[in-house]
Structure 1
């Protein structure tokens, strides 16, 4: 679920250390997991002793900060022992978090008061977050966070519209550390609540064997069809997206299986890697469980998460439909068949042995969309369903398996906590200076009031911020700085934030920094830039559909029932025809003229004017029917 630009914690270099270090890390991870569970369930209220949520945040931050310095070395690579300064930093990080837990009631009684103790712990917390951000995500994000902090301090020195009041270092440090508009605010609430709960759900489902079931189900459904391994990759990544919501994790988990299968069948390495990269990136955009950024988006919009998931449904279907058609046409073009029958599990046997794994997903979906339970509690109820399933199954998980699920969730939460804290520092700096309003005015002025140019500027900003930066951080910055300008220009809030979400996610596919592509290319042994080109071609719908749902938010299911159905159907037809035009293959190779005609028809189909839709449908239908009559006419 952590949508960072880095590889999962398990794939990164860690301190080798001694046995005591592993035990300490496990203890910290389990404590962080349990603290998040207690926060989500709000256990203290059941004992008539409620505590502030900021006290939970402080404790969780402290545990995650301490774990971070033990997990991530100061320099890339593996070491045989933990140096003394990392132990000191781990203790400092824990103290910075625990101080909030212990002192918060006193802080509430004297808000805004600046004391030496608060300044000291504020400076300590900011430095801890910056160093952990450098270790976990690299220098670019550290520089960006530092720029926002320096702007909060020295904004009075900036010229023109960027000039602000500025603040003292003491006020900046105290505000960033203790204000609920910074580290202890909305991002922490989402990360330690909803994002954590869904990560725990995925870890529990994997621990009980759910991962194997979804892999076998994908193989049984798609393995024998034309280009079977590629279709297994598409379906498998979509299914795994409901468990992890992380593009990087999806590539590692499913790509290690599907990419070698695709290569053995005859797919070019770059194409095999691109299929997996695009399919895995889409997992973070596919309801019911989207990436961590979608939960943050729901908080920005002040709407239930289910509304975000419903709005994302049609664009996600268009994304996977076009990708599926792409891989099918590629298989036809290359003459690739499905997997041999002896390599494909029987669908009946897979369902007979694994259908109970669908029950937790059914519980999750029912809680979210039928009973209207909050996402974090829905995910915990889904986790309880997973545990009940495990206890009732013949291959029940051991206590060790469950312990590893708790430990693994805690370790994955380290990156979530670090990116949440870094994003909190950015939001705090913006709130302290009022930069959000200023930047919106700059965007509107630069676009000259033209919505199309404003959208292009926002997309460009997303691409630039996405270079070497986690998706969540990129989204949060633009949600604060650019979304108000889009909304002021007449874009609906849901469409504005979904536009930013899509282009933030596309950093996984867009060069030069395209993490999902690099991971997939490494597995496939292909050239990264060639793989990136193939990925952008296959994922073209993700670059186009945001502009379409801004123009017609019926694609986000925001129109009447008829408008929603028409938008969905014409979108599916249009992007299907566009896939044929780009691939240059239908029943046989297509000439340039035919491809241009089909591309124009696709453009007419995806517009939101029914006259153009009718013309596009007539052209596409006539051309495809003509092509279907025989390969001799395809040129």
Structure 2
């Protein structure tokens, strides 16, 4: 009984701290300090949110010594509150308070590293350690990597007290922008939003061949755009769609892989996308609307390819539509859940018509959805005020990992710039790119995927955006294309073995072999590995150019993606033999070549189209 009571108390404390994370974020994002004429440093608000996030991390992952975790949680609150109060003094007059600054910095670093270790493992800690070693001994290097070394005490103080480090742009985005969108996602979950997206997708695609797979893709695209997290998307929608796909005739590995690929793409699906997209806009000092526009065509191509795969795989395996009794009436679904689209419409109106900041647009959507939910609920359940409180608490818990990632990533990014490492690495990458831009892009893609093994997309993007993207821009690439390139391949670590987190979660739900599911996810999600190279060479794919050229490039890319997908699946009307599949894949790659290059080898371009038509004609003839 005593253990049960302690567990209940612990849960209540965690919920309180999680709510305080959300409250702090909303308090700041809404501009409340200005209402009360409260003059406060942004860093002070960030440090309060960080303190609660650290406390939640220690209490939810106590390890073997629960009492130690309680002590660490208390120290986290003391650290955050003390530094928040003393930040103006310590940041501006650090030399007059050397002992206090050193003690606070050392305590903060220890707490952050331990919380990150418990939450995400050692990856980011090792990277920070390597960057710190470079900063301490950079004067011993030669060539472009040689720089002025930083003393240990100045290093510690910089990591915690400098506005370009811990409480920098990364943590600002995590607290001020991401949390409001997490609140919206949790409110949608709590009020039946996930069920609505599932039913809506079922009503649209259920009567088509391979309907179960198409339902999973549609549902994951809808919900993934809100959640912005591949893993949570798989866990939420996959619990419904994966069993449906298995019952419909898809192999268990294929069912898990389709869900993983569709959920991963949700991080780049407008209008909301994932947390990394907000960081991308901040890094480029660009309007978030520009990021949405740039990501639109690549995400459309990706999901069209997934749809084609589900359809062709169903044709190859003779998977029929979903049974009629399982398909809801579309008009009835819309009649019951039309209001779910209102928050999305308000976000778009706020961003496009009123030019509001993303966090303000999200808060408008949250407020509207709370009011709507007082009267309308898709699941038809009775209203409970506690539901809103639980949604705020869930949003706070979901924000903990992102806040911790951005805290340690902010320290790494700040130190990379301060130590001169960004200049040294940038010099080597630029020299590599001058000899072969394609080689530099391939190296960058591989590094993104390798670094992403075990790291969330946000962490990978933050690190590579400061190291790999600047050299690409210096070599003449469009800044948006360079940063989206890094973001895409950071996202792909969720699918790529050996550490394909989203695929492994989907495999668990499908009761399938994890590695086979991950490899199948790579096969299904292949466009995501190729599209970044295409939009780097063809800016029109990012809506950068004249309308006729944008349409030509889009249609050409769509044809190429369709041809390659057919070759990968090995089906078009009827099954294709190995030679036909190889011809299709080669033809599709040629069709995807940039127009400038395709013009130089026009005979090969048109030959590939004719070859593709020939293969499709032969398959159609075999059907007849």
TM-score band w.r.t. shorter chain: over 0.9
- Distance (Å, rounded) in 1 between the aligned partners of 2:262 and 2:171: 29
* Among candidates 188, 198, 216, match of residue 215 of structure 1: 198
- Matched with 2:593 is 607
- Matched with 1:5 is none
Match of 2:227, SS state, is coil
- Distance (Å, rounded) in 2 between the aligned partners of 1:277 and 1:243: 16
The answer to whether the 8 A contact 2:433-2:475 is kept is no
- Matched with 1:239 is 222
* Among candidates 145, 148, 165, match of residue 148 of structure 2: 165
Structure 2 vs 1, CA of residues 240 and 112 (structure 1 numbering), >3 Å: closer, same or farther?
A: farther
1:61 aligns with 2:50: yes
Structure 2 vs 1, CA of residues 390 and 164 (structure 1 numbering), >3 Å: closer, same or farther?
A: same
- Distance (Å, rounded) in 2 between the aligned partners of 1:264 and 1:576: 27
- Matched with 1:421 is 407
Match of 1:559, SS state, is coil
**Structure 2: 5+ residue runs without aligned partners?**
none
TM-score normalised by the chain length of structure 2: 0.95
- Matched with 1:3 is none
Match of 1:170, SS state, is helix
Distance apart, 1:619 and its partner CA? 4.0
1:574 aligns with 2:566: no
* Among candidates 298, 308, 311, match of residue 328 of structure 1: 311
Match of 1:283, SS state, is helix
- Distance (Å, rounded) in 1 between the aligned partners of 2:614 and 2:425: 49
- Matched with 2:234 is 251
Distance apart, 1:519 and its partner CA? 0.6
- Matched with 1:25 is 14
- Distance (Å, rounded) in 2 between the aligned partners of 1:630 and 1:74: 63
- Matched with 2:619 is 627
Distance apart, 1:282 and its partner CA? 0.5
Deviation readout 1:535-559 (Å, 9 max, x if unpaired) = 1111110000111111111111111
- Distance (Å, rounded) in 1 between the aligned partners of 2:438 and 2:5: 52
The answer to whether the 8 A contact 1:205-1:383 is kept is no
* Among candidates 433, 437, 453, match of residue 467 of structure 1: 453
The answer to whether the 8 A contact 1:227-1:336 is kept is yes
- Distance (Å, rounded) in 2 between the aligned partners of 1:108 and 1:124: 16
The answer to whether the 8 A contact 1:449-1:489 is kept is no
- Matched with 1:195 is 178
The answer to whether the 8 A contact 1:54-1:100 is kept is no
- Matched with 2:115 is 132
Structure 2 vs 1, CA of residues 16 and 512 (structure 1 numbering), >3 Å: closer, same or farther?
A: farther
- Distance (Å, rounded) in 2 between the aligned partners of 1:562 and 1:351: 35
**Structure 1: 5+ residue runs without aligned partners?**
1-14, 76-81
Distance apart, 1:63 and its partner CA? 1.2
- Distance (Å, rounded) in 2 between the aligned partners of 1:631 and 1:503: 40
Deviation readout 1:196-219 (Å, 9 max, x if unpaired) = 111111112222221211111111
| Count of residues in Structure 1 that have an aligned counterpart in Structure 2 | 612
Match of 2:78, SS state, is helix
The answer to whether the 8 A contact 1:114-1:170 is kept is no
Distance apart, 1:411 and its partner CA? 1.0
- Distance (Å, rounded) in 2 between the aligned partners of 1:607 and 1:388: 50
Following superposition of structure 1 onto structure 2, how do residues 231-630 of structure 1 map, counting pairs within 5 Å? 231-393=214-376, 395=380, 397-447=383-433, 449-609=435-595, 611=599, 612=602, 616-630=608-622
The answer to whether the 8 A contact 2:91-2:162 is kept is no
The answer to whether the 8 A contact 1:208-1:397 is kept is no
- Distance (Å, rounded) in 2 between the aligned partners of 1:16 and 1:504: 43
- Matched with 2:130 is 147
- Matched with 1:6 is none
Match of 1:496, SS state, is helix
Deviation readout 1:180-205 (Å, 9 max, x if unpaired) = 11111100111011111111111122
- Distance (Å, rounded) in 2 between the aligned partners of 1:135 and 1:108: 29
* Among candidates 162, 176, 186, match of residue 179 of structure 1: 162
- Matched with 1:70 is 59
- Matched with 1:50 is 39
Match of 2:87, SS state, is helix
Distance apart, 1:448 and its partner CA? 5.3
- Distance (Å, rounded) in 2 between the aligned partners of 1:530 and 1:385: 44
- Distance (Å, rounded) in 1 between the aligned partners of 2:9 and 2:39: 35
Distance apart, 1:150 and its partner CA? 2.5
The answer to whether the 8 A contact 2:116-2:405 is kept is yes
Structure 2 vs 1, CA of residues 49 and 565 (structure 1 numbering), >3 Å: closer, same or farther?
A: same
> Relative to structure 2, which stretch is displaced further, 129-138 or 588-597?
588-597
Following superposition of structure 1 onto structure 2, how do residues 110-125 of structure 1 map, counting pairs within 5 Å? 110=93, 115-125=98-108
- Distance (Å, rounded) in 2 between the aligned partners of 1:147 and 1:529: 31
Distance apart, 1:627 and its partner CA? 3.0
Distance apart, 1:429 and its partner CA? 1.6
- Distance (Å, rounded) in 1 between the aligned partners of 2:325 and 2:345: 31
Deviation readout 1:453-501 (Å, 9 max, x if unpaired) = 1111111111221122222121111111111111111111111101100
- Distance (Å, rounded) in 2 between the aligned partners of 1:479 and 1:248: 22
Match of 1:420, SS state, is helix
- Matched with 1:10 is none
- Distance (Å, rounded) in 2 between the aligned partners of 1:602 and 1:86: 56
